[in-house]
């Protein structure tokens, strides 16, 4: 049941997924927390400023783009110890490439209570914009969320070429700076004509989405000068629709639709 009440916030850190950028894609819980929190921390490079319109006019806003974790955690700790509620915004969903693992470790060490609120990840927002299902029966039933090695090393067992061998719907984060390398590794297994959606700042006012064959992925990225905030979706499901799901098929019977 949808509750219109604002939550009574505790002095703790709320690690909140802010979604891909469009304020309308915040969860109701994220909006409610933003409306009441005493302190909001957010990375200006990843979260559009409009999201701050939802905050209390007197909330303390701390921008973190130029701060290290060693600076951010003591800031949050000090505020919570002063009985303030702190919202730490992360883009998309915090479970993906958000560096919350070490933040939660340090907060636990300092005995600071925290809670994690999920958000819509970039791959979900991109799939919605593309109007595709990434799991089409008879075609592809697996989604891989990954990245290429950059400053953060990807373990050898998760090497992109190895994952490409599955020919699943592959959502590639944080990889625009290494797009030639990514394309070469993907081409080891995906056919060159496989469609790739290049999704820049989905949900932001300057959003750009291009769908090209895999062999043109790097060229298109360079032509459009995309370096940051770009997600690639490589998937057989991006080709024109084929097949249909068993779930709504007249011959498929289940608990809520029995055969007569």
Given the rule CB under 6 A, which residues bind ligand SAM? 20-21, 90-93, 96-98, 121-122, 173-174, 199, 201-204, 229-231
Q: Which residue is nearest to ligand SAM (CB)?
A: 92
Helix (H, G, I), strand (E, B) or coil at 77: helix
Under DSSP, the state recorded for 177 is G
CB of 255 to ligand SAM, least distance (A): 33
Q: Which is nearer to ligand SAM, 80 or 119 (CB)?
A: 119
CB of 93 to ligand SAM, least distance (A): 4
Q: Which is nearer to ligand SAM, 194 or 229 (CB)?
A: 229
Q: Which is nearer to ligand SAM, 54 or 139 (CB)?
A: 54
Q: Which is nearer to ligand SAM, 85 or 230 (CB)?
A: 230
CB of 80 to ligand SAM, least distance (A): 23
- The answer to whether the beta carbons of residues 29 and 50 sit under 8 Å apart is no
- What six digits make up the tokens of 171? 């959502």
User: Alpha-carbon distance 232 to 179, whole Å?
Assistant: 10
CB-side neighbour CA atoms (13 Å) of 117: 23
List CB contacts of 231: < 8 A, sequence separation 6 or more: 122, 123, 126, 171, 172, 173, 199, 202
């Amino acid at each position: 049941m949808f509750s219109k009440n604002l939550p009574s916030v505790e002095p703790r850190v709320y690690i909140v997924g802010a979604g891909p950028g469009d304020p309308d894609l915040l969860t109701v819980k994220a909006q409610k927390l933003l409306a009441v929190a005493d302190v909001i921390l957010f990375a200006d490079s990843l979260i559009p400023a409009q999201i701050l319109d939802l905050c209390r006019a007197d909330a303390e806003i701390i921008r973190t783009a130029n701060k290290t974790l060693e600076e951010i955690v003591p800031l949050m700790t000090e505020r919570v110890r002063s009985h303030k509620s702190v919202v730490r915004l992360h883009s998309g969903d915090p479970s993906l490439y958000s560096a919350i693992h070490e933040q939660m470790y340090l907060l636990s060490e300092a005995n600071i209570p925290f809670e994690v609120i999920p958000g819509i990840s970039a791959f979900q927002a991109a799939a919605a914009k593309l109007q595709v299902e990434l799991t089409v029966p008879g075609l592809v039933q697996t989604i891989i969320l990954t990245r290429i090695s950059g400053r953060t090393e990807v373990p050898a067992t998760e090497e992109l070429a190895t994952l490409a061998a599955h020919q699943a719907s592959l959502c590639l984060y944080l990889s625009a700076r290494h797009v030639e390398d990514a394309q070469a590794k993907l081409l080891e297994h995906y056919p060159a004509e496989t469609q790739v959606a290049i999704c820049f700042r989905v949900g932001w006012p300057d959003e750009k989405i291009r769908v090209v064959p895999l062999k043109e992925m790097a060229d298109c990225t360079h032509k459009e000068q995309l370096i940051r905030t770009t997600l690639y979706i490589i998937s057989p499901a991006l080709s024109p629709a084929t097949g249909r799901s068993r779930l709504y098929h007249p011959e498929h019977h289940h608990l809520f639709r029995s055969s007569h």
